[in-house]
Structure 1
Amino acid sequence: MRAYGKPTVVSGGVSELVLLWAGIPLVGGLLGGLLVAGAGWVAGLPWAPAQGLFRAVDGLPDRYALPGGVGVGILAGLVIAAIGTSERVIVTVSDAEALVRRGDSEQVVSRRDTRVAFQDGKDLVLLDADDAELVRQPHDLPAERLAEAFRQHGWPWAEADPHREAYRLWVPDLPGLPDGANALLRARREAREHDRQDEARELRAELARYGVVVRDDGKRQHVRLTRRAVLPD
């Protein structure tokens, strides 16, 4: 059924926020208390790391150590909750456009510019008429709810990547790529190996300018070319 007019919002909802801001700090507090309670036992293990720290904690009076451990655990949980909230993905779909929000960043894509949308593993992907990626957004949203939101508003939705068979495993100096693409792919591999995610995203965007689409499979990069790719003579 088409959802005319009213946009459809797909997010983790209130339950996700409750889990982040109540569940995670609660678990953090429990773990902090358990670590303090078991500090003496851990300090006696010859293979345990940071034995000096655990011995110091075990030597503190219980009236200070246990509340302190619980408090530190709760604080760590709140930090994790703040990070998780900043990384939340919310997708709003209307008949005319899709808004993909991740934390403070937003991408707005017009339906008329989108040839197809689909779910690729944990990523939402939208392609344009040249088969280049308009959006590739990792998320933890319910995949069926997301697909239904696009279908309800008349977007072209595919059950799988229509170009899946076009990808090749990238190896250094892979032939058939635009000039400069292999250097960017080497730099991106290094950025991912050192967990420099922002740099890896920037290099993905730069590769898109060359007409190269990158699909990650674990540590490996798979590539395909779009219609706008300029190949060497």
Structure 2
Amino acid sequence: MKAGKEPHGDTTVVAEPLEERILIWVLFPALGAGAGWLIKLGAAWLTEIPFIPFRPAFEFLTSAPEPRATLIALLVGALLGLAVACVAAWERLTVTVTDKAVSLRCRGTTQDFTRASVEAVFRDGKRLVLLGPVTEELARESGDLKTERLRDAFLRHGYPWQEGGDPYAGDYRRWVEDLPGLPAGANALLKARARALEKNDSDDARQLRTELAELGVVVRDEKKHQFWRLTERFPH
């Protein structure tokens, strides 16, 4: 593994810049209000489309007096934009790095790992990945944080950042049903996970990834195809 720089005694936090967070809270409600205004303008035309969803809402906008109808359309659009901003904030990744530990905060939860438990750190596309002592996957979190900022933070505190990406990328094999070589029970979990990926059920896919990790199986997704490898505590 690549060695990092000499550790520092401070804390480094990598998060979206404040101005970007403010922009999201302002821009999304504004875009939602704009969409609401456009829908109000086209409500009469939309009611003429057969079997269109939410027809009662469009009929209400065409029949309600002004300025009440426009104000309602703007308010509903802004609230929907605010909801999107809330989801973006909930999914936002924040990484806190010290000489002794790293913390990942995302989707309302925080994952903490000691420095001794982290054997490799790298980016896999937009995902930040941490590997453990037997090449197991400790964490895989998506985020729009700049790779340069993440790399500098981890190297500053002496973590083994992998500039070339996953050092075990060549060990992955594409999963097909009933493939031999997997631990007992892994094929069933991978089948269930394949169904979750087809349904875009990210929560179920995430839980099944955790269960596979307990069996010593690391999973990587590419366009809804699953690729797997075994950790070093299992024979290859």
Q: TM (normalized to structure 1)? A: 0.91
**Aligned pairs for 1:46-57 within 5 A:** 50=54, 53-57=57-61
Q: Which amino acid aligns with 2:217?
A: V
SS at match of 1:131: coil
Q: Report how far residue 196 of structure 1 moved.
A: 2.7
Cα RMSD for the two superposed structures: 2.0
Partner of 2:114: 110
Runs of 4+ in 1 over 6 A off after TM superposition: none
Partner of 1:225: 230
2-structure distance, mates of 1:48, 1:3? 61
CA contact (8 A) 1:28 1:76 kept: yes
The size of the alignment, in residue pairs, is 231
Partner of 1:167: 172
1-structure distance, mates of 2:56, 2:114? 59
Equivalent of residue 23 in structure 2, options 19, 22, 43: 19
Structure 2 unpaired stretches of 5+: none
**Aligned pairs for 1:65-214 within 5 A:** 65-159=69-163, 160-214=165-219
Identity among equivalent positions (%) equals 43
Q: Which amino acid aligns with 1:76?
A: L
Q: Report how far residue 101 of structure 1 moved.
A: 0.7
Compare relative contact order (CA 8 Å, sep 6+) and give the higher one, 1 or 2. Answer: 2
| 1:15/1:119 CA distance change after superposition, 3 Å | same
Q: Which amino acid aligns with 1:58?
A: T
2-structure distance, mates of 1:229, 1:209? 11
2-structure distance, mates of 1:95, 1:206? 30
CA contact (8 A) 1:132 1:213 kept: yes
2-structure distance, mates of 1:115, 1:24? 39
2-structure distance, mates of 1:46, 1:183? 44
Pair 1:28-2:32 in alignment: yes
CA contact (8 A) 1:11 1:91 kept: yes
SS at match of 2:133: coil
1-structure distance, mates of 2:58, 2:75? 17
2-structure distance, mates of 1:47, 1:131? 53
CA contact (8 A) 1:210 1:230 kept: no
| 1:63/1:53 CA distance change after superposition, 3 Å | same
1-structure distance, mates of 2:132, 2:108? 24
Q: Report how far residue 55 of structure 1 moved.
A: 3.7
CA contact (8 A) 1:178 1:230 kept: no
Could you give the per-residue CA deviations for residues 157-198 of structure 1, whole angstroms, max 9, x where no partner exists?
A: 112111111111111111111111000101111222223322
2-structure distance, mates of 1:65, 1:36? 8
CA contact (8 A) 1:211 1:230 kept: no
Q: Which amino acid aligns with 1:42?
A: L
1-structure distance, mates of 2:23, 2:188? 42
SS at match of 1:118: strand
CA contact (8 A) 1:91 1:99 kept: yes
Q: Which amino acid aligns with 1:130?
A: V
CA contact (8 A) 1:3 1:153 kept: yes
